[in-house]
């Protein structure tokens, strides 16, 4: 579906990292595609029927592509469905979600990939691209049907929230995945070393009386993964790093020319372990929130390009898994709706430029996952977000669209609000003042 009439978005700031563009301009949309964008887009005449939208004061960016989204469908629909997640995404300016296979059943079979794609086609507002399990049932024992799953539409292969323990299996899976040019995106937390830890290991955890997770639980599997990635030549993505030394390891691997990339969750760019306060379970995350030095290292690594992408790591949990003592609660926080607003904190603080942020939220993930989008150049689908970069607002939990309300940004003050989200030129979300 596309807008019936052409539309001209006029008098915008256009931020398009794919072309190094960051300045005033217009965007002309015809038949769901970007016909022209930039300083001259509206000057060469537009079709007679064109709807003109005055967008003075707004910034246009390519729709966000969120590389790590957990959804409860199939199996745990009370937490989140593909449809409800897509509404949350639209409200947050996310036009494409990479959906994690951690469902019930696990997405490790082509029939389930097809189910996700069909459900998304029928019910979702935004693009949904399934990531499939690298190993059957995410059990870390036998590799899944990587070739068939990739043909069915899986854009990446991942293995849940813990590192794969079996080095031989991981090596073979990487070797096999390389033949199919598949992206292997793994979280790197050693289940044994993390043990029963529930937050960053250190003084704060000790005062709280909570078992900690050492930084080495992340660094050791990451360094192992990077070595095996170099050995096998696989396209490897460290999905969620949280520790300064992890960024160093990625930086070194890139300097050696290996095909590696990494992501960071928005939480680890904007929060630290002190936010846990008095055992607030919505701040119980995996990997755990680290200290301020690590957070600052994540921001620096994002700014210098070591970190490729920012993800929401949207992870809906309900009262049954969150209204519990901290040590007994589940990990995870929702994040689709706050992804852009919280990322803009880094822009307003002067730590990261706006084009670099947009690149990490849209352009780079499009490249990594091999998707259309991530650009505003002519010919691309008109997946566009209009943002009021400075608009102040406060997140009220009850206003969240997501079916689960476990946000780490309850009552947070933001500057920057999504005003309109478009998919193929069609408005799927509009801010109502």
Partner 1 sequence: MSDQHPSPSFAHRHLLGISELSEQEIVYLLDQAEKAVEISRQNDKKRATLRGRTQINLFFEASTRTQASFELAGKRLGADVMNMSIGNSSVKKGETLIDTAMTLNAMRPDILILRHQSAGAAALLAQKVDCALINAGDGAHEHPTQALLDALTIRRARGRIARLVVAICGDILHSRVARSNILLLNALGARVRVVAPSTLLPAGIQDMGVEVFHSMAEGLHDADVVMMLRLQRERMDGGFVPTVREYFRFFGLDSETLKAARPDALVMHPGPMNRGVEIASEVADSPQSVIAEQVEMGVAVRMAVMETLLLQQGVNAAS
**Footprint of partner 1 on this chain (CB under 8 A)?**
135-136, 141-148, 169, 172, 175-176, 178-179, 232
**Minimum gap (Å) between residue 172 Cβ and partner 1:** 5
Residue (110 or 382) nearer to partner 1, CB = 110
Nearest to partner 1 of 231, 399 (CB atom):
231
Comparison of 143 and 310: residue with beta carbon closer to partner 1:
143
Gap between the Cα atoms of 60 and 283, Å rounded: 31
Q: Where are the beta strands (DSSP E) in 282-381?
A: 309-311
Provide the minimum distance between the beta carbon of 254 and partner 1 in the complex, in angstroms, as a whole number. Answer: 23
- Partnered with residue 309 across adjacent β-strands are 263
Closest CA to 180 of 129, 145, 133, 217: 145
Kindly tell me which of 121 and 141 has the beta carbon lying closer to partner 1.
Answer: 141
Smallest gap, in angstroms, from Cβ of residue 148 to partner 1?
5
**180 or 279, CB closer to partner 1?**
180
Residue 181 or residue 349: which is nearer to partner 1 going by CB?
181
Nearest residue (CB) to partner 1, 149 versus 289: 149
Residues 6+ apart with CB under 8 A from 116: 82, 99, 107, 128, 130
Across 279-290, b (16+ Cβ under 10 Å) vs e yields bebbbbbbbbbb
**What contacts 421, CB < 8 A, 6 or more positions away?**
63, 90, 91, 93, 94, 95, 384, 385, 386, 427, 428, 429, 430
59 Ramachandran zone, left/alpha/beta (phi>0; psi -120 to 50) = beta
Residues 6+ apart with CB under 8 A from 270: 295, 342, 343, 345, 346
Task: List all residues 6 or more positions away from 374 whose beta carbon is below 8 Å from its beta carbon.
Answer: 18, 62, 65, 362, 363, 364, 365, 366, 367
Q: How far is the CB of 174 from partner 1 (least distance, A)?
A: 9
E strand or H helix at 251? helix 244-255
Cβ-proximal residues to 420 (8 Å cutoff; 6+ apart), any chain: 385, 386, 427, 429, 430, 431
* Residue 147 CB, nearest approach to partner 1 (Å): 5
- Is the separation of the CB atoms in 3 and 32 below 8 Å? yes
CB of 13 to partner 1, least distance (A): 46
Residue 378 exposed, middle or buried by CB count within 10 Å (0-12, 13-18, 19+):
middle
**Considering beta carbons, is residue 233 or 305 the nearer one to partner 1?**
233
Q: How far is the CB of 176 from partner 1 (least distance, A)?
A: 5
Nearer to partner 1, 179 or 304 (CB): 179
Alpha-carbon Rg for the chain, nearest whole angstrom, is 21
Least separation in angstroms between residue 45's CB and partner 1 is 48
Of 324, 323, 322, 342, nearest in space to 332 by CA: 322
Q: How far is the CB of 170 from partner 1 (least distance, A)?
A: 12
């Amino acid at each position: 579906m596309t807008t019936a009439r052409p539309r001209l978005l006029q008098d915008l700031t256009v931020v398009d990292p794919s072309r190094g563009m960051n300045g005033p301009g217009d965007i002309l949309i015809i038949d769901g595609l970007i016909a022209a964008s930039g300083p001259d887009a509206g000057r060469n005449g537009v079709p007679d029927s064109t709807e003109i939208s005055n967008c003075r004061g707004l910034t246009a960016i390519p729709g966000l592509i969120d590389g790590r989204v957990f959804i409860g469908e199939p199996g745990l629909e009370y937490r989140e469905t593909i449809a409800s997640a897509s509404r949350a995404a639209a409200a947050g300016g996310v036009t494409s979600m990479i959906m994690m296979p951690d469902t019930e059943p696990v997405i490790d079979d082509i029939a389930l990939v097809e189910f996700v794609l069909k459900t998304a086609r029928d019910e979702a507002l935004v693009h949904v691209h399934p990531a499939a399990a690298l190993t059957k049932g995410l059990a870390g024992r036998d590799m899944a049907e990587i070739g068939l799953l990739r043909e069915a539409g899986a854009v990446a292969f991942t293995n849940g929230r813990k590192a794969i323990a079996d080095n031989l299996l991981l090596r073979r899976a990487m070797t096999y995945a390389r033949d199919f040019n598949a992206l292997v995106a793994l979280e790197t937390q050693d289940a044994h070393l993390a043990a029963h830890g529930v937050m960053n290991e250190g003084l704060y955890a000790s005062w709280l009386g909570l078992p900690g997770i050492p930084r080495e639980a992340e660094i050791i599997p990451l360094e192992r993964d990077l070595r095996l990635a170099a050995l096998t030549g696989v396209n490897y993505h460290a999905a969620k790093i949280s520790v300064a030394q992890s960024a160093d390891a990625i930086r070194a691997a890139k300097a050696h020319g290996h095909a590696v990339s990494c992501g960071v969750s928005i939480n680890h760019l904007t929060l630290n372990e002190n936010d846990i306060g008095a055992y607030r379970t919505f701040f119980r995350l995996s990997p755990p929130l680290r200290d301020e030095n690590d957070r600052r290292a994540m921001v620096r690594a994002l700014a210098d390009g070591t970190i490729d992408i920012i993800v929401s790591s949207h992870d809906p949990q309900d009262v049954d898994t969150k209204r519990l003592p901290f040590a007994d609660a589940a990990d995870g926080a929702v994040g689709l709706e706050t992804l852009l607003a919280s990322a803009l904190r880094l822009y307003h603080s002067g730590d990261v430029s706006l084009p670099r942020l947009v690149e990490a939220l849209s352009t780079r993930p499009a490249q990594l996952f091999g998707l259309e989008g991530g650009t505003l150049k002519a010919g691309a689908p008109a997946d566009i977000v209009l943002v009021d970069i400075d608009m102040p607002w406060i997140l009220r939990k009850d206003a969240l669209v997501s079916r689960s309300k476990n946000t780490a940004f309850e009552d947070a003050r933001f500057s920057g609000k999504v005003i309109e989200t478009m998919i193929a030129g069609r408005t799927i979300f509009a801010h109502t003042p």
